[in-house]
Each structure stands twice: as C-alpha cells, then as structure tokens.
Amino acid sequence: MQGGCGEKKRGPWTGSLLQRRRRRAEVTMKKLTINEIAERAGVSKTTVSFYLNGKTNKMSDETKRRIQHIIDETGYEPNAAARAMKAKSSGMIGVILGDLADPYSCQALKGLEDAAGSQNIQVMVAGSGMNFNSEKEIVERMLKMGAEGFIIQSTYRFGMMAGSLEKKRRPIVYLDAKPYDYRGRCVKSNHYECVYQVITECIGKGYEDFMMFSDDFSTSSTGFESMQGYKDALQDAVRDGGTFYMAEGRRSGDVYEVLSQNLNLERRTLIYVADPPLYQVVYQALRRYPDYMELLKGRVGLIGFDCDGWTRMTTPPLAAIITPAYQEGVKAAEELMDILDGKKAEGDVVFKNIVKYRESVN
C-alpha cells in the first residue's frame, strides 16, 4: 500500500492543464505587456490595442483568434497602475504638421490618428506653415487644452522650445522633420540616402543634365536632406546641376517659364522634384510641350516624391519616390504613447523610401 507521498493517478488532460496553469502563473508574475502580446501573436502593438478596445471590424478571424489565444493562455489583464495613470490624464496629444493639405501630412495624420484611437487617445491637430512663431503659439494653445505630449513636423528652430517642454514633462516625437539640435525621438524616412541613390543611378542611365525643383520651406530638415542627397550625388560624380525654388502658390505656367529658359532639349535631362505637391505642378508644366509624351520617354526624365499614388495613374506613368507616410504616422504615435507610459526612447526610427522607375525614367 502506498503512503501519502505516493504518485496519484492523473486524468488524460491533467498534465497539460497543470502546464498551462504554470505557464499562466509565470507570465502573470512577469506582468505581460501589450508589446509582448503583439510579439507572441505576430502582430503590431496597434492591432492588439484595437482588439482590446473592441475595434475588430477590419481584423481577420485568424488574427483575432491568435490574440485571444495569448490572452487566454497568459491570463493577461491591463496593468492597474497604468489604468490609474490614464484615468488621471487628459488623454490628449498635440500634433503639429507643416501643411495639413500636403499629401504626406494627410497620410501620416491618418496613421497616427488610427494608432492613437486604438488606445483611446484624442488628437489635437494644427498646421504651422513651417513657421517657428506659429509653432510657439500652437504649442501654448495646446498646452492650455491639456496636451500631454506632442508629435511635431518641426522647423529647424523648434529646438529653442523643446527645453521648456521637457521641463514641463511634455515629451516630443518629431515626425519627418526635426530641429537642428534635437534630442529625443524622431520618425522619418531615409531621404538623403534615397535621393543620393536615385541621382547616382540616373547618372548611370545616361542622363547628362540635372534640374531640381523645390519649395521654399528652407526651415525643414527634410528639405535639407533631400536637397543635400541631390547635390552630393552630383558632386561625387563630378556633374553640375541646377536648383530652382518655387514660392507658395506656384502654378504650372511659372514652372514652364523656368523650363523654357533652362531645359536643353538637345541633351538628356533628369528633372527631380523634392516637394510632393510641386511634383504635380512640374508634370503639368511639361504637358505644355506639344511632344511631352515623347520627351518623357526619352530626352527628359522626371521623378519626385509621391505620397498618395497619383503618379501610377498618369500618361505615361511617372517614376516616383514613395514615402511610407501612413506607417510613419502610426510609429510616431506608438513612440509617443510608449514615452508617456514611462519608456525612454531616443534616436531616429528610419523607414526606407520605395523607388519606382516607371516610363518617365529609362
């Protein structure tokens, strides 16, 4: 007869149940986070937040099943301290973009609003016109309205304000453009490297002359990076290139006048457009040439930044540098929410632009 310490007979499911309970206890002691659930389920943090907040209408059944399986297996519950902190907060962040009508801003704003909304964070939005004085006024107004942090597409001078916001414990995540002396977190694309590569490859394609059109937002670090990539690629290849700045309100007739005076149709010329809205204006200017279709398929190359996909629908389809603006917006919001949750983050989060060589570059 066995004593009290003898092995008891187990049911067919007892071992696996005990193992699941043990795993659940171990994970619960470690205070599983949303990030860890996302990693285990193979989805993004935003997707998990959407699920936890009941916003699953655009989510596949398989994704919902994976997330729920992790929650069931681990016994996950939102951290009580985090819930208390959020209950005391205003639940609002401020977003300041250069131009709200700009294609990049529209896509980025949609991304950050989706990410913030997944965690029930409200977004206050304003456009600065890439003007430092406007930035100051907007920040003060948003602070009075309860903004707990900021996502800013900033001018170079904004660093003068960043220190005072740090003292007020109002964190900043820079989006696309950052100040000259910035510290903290910035979400951006690899504009310099991408433009440098494009110009270098186009030199290899046999283009002889180069023209760059840009807006006059000289206060944006993004403009500096893309312009410097263009200049450095030409300098390293011992080539010359023209740079033409177009003021706000520019029209295709203004660009056509510049082209008429500077475009040599006897030589293969690449036209690079650094500003997304300006790209459409330059394209319309080229359409004024009677034989523009032949020009764009031979003597004249055209490429620029496109954030909303219009270049693939033109005749002929235009080459484009595509910035993942929506994804940048999502990431900027996630970074700011992480900082507000007490996670320190510094440095750049860099996305890669996508280059599409279509019929206008050959």
- CATH code where residue 178 lies: 3.40.50.2300
Interior angle at CA 46, CA 42 and CA 47, nearest 5: 55
Same domain, 283 and 197: yes
Same domain, 124 and 205: no
DSSP-derived 3-state class of residue 244: strand
pLDDT at 260 over 80: yes
Same domain, 311 and 227: yes
Same domain, 195 and 170: no
Spell out the residues 6+ positions from residue 184 whose beta carbon is closer than 8 angstroms to its own: 162, 171, 172, 173, 174, 345, 346
Same domain, 183 and 332: yes
**Do residues 117 and 174 lie in contact, with contact meaning Cβ atoms separated by under 8 Å?**
no
How does pLDDT run across 87-121, given as a tens digit for each residue? 556 689 999 999 898 889 999 999 999 999 988 89
260 found inside a domain: yes
User: Global pTM?
Assistant: 0.73
210 found inside a domain: yes
Average confidence score pLDDT of the chain: 85
pLDDT of residue 6: 42
Query: And the tokens for 6?
Result: 């003898």
Mean pLDDT computed over 137-147: 93
Residues 197, 215: Cα–Cα separation, whole Å: 21
> By residue range, what is the domain housing residue 230?
191-325
Mean pLDDT computed over 318-326: 95
pLDDT of residue 76: 74
Number of domains in the chain: 3
pLDDT of residue 321: 96
Nearest CA to 152 out of 46, 136, 194, 248 is that of 136
**Do residues 153 and 178 lie in contact, with contact meaning Cβ atoms separated by under 8 Å?**
no
CA distances from 297 to 224, 268, 282, 361 (A): 30, 11, 16, 7
More confident residue, 18 or 238: 238
Same domain, 176 and 208: no
pLDDT of residue 19: 52
C-alpha gyration radius of the chain:
26
272 found inside a domain: yes
How does pLDDT run across 30-61, given as a tens digit for each residue? 457 788 888 888 888 888 877 877 677 778 88
Same domain, 126 and 21: no
pLDDT of residue 250: 78
pLDDT band at residue 294, thresholds of 50, 70 and 90? very high
pLDDT of residue 23: 52
pLDDT at 257 over 80: yes
82 found inside a domain: no
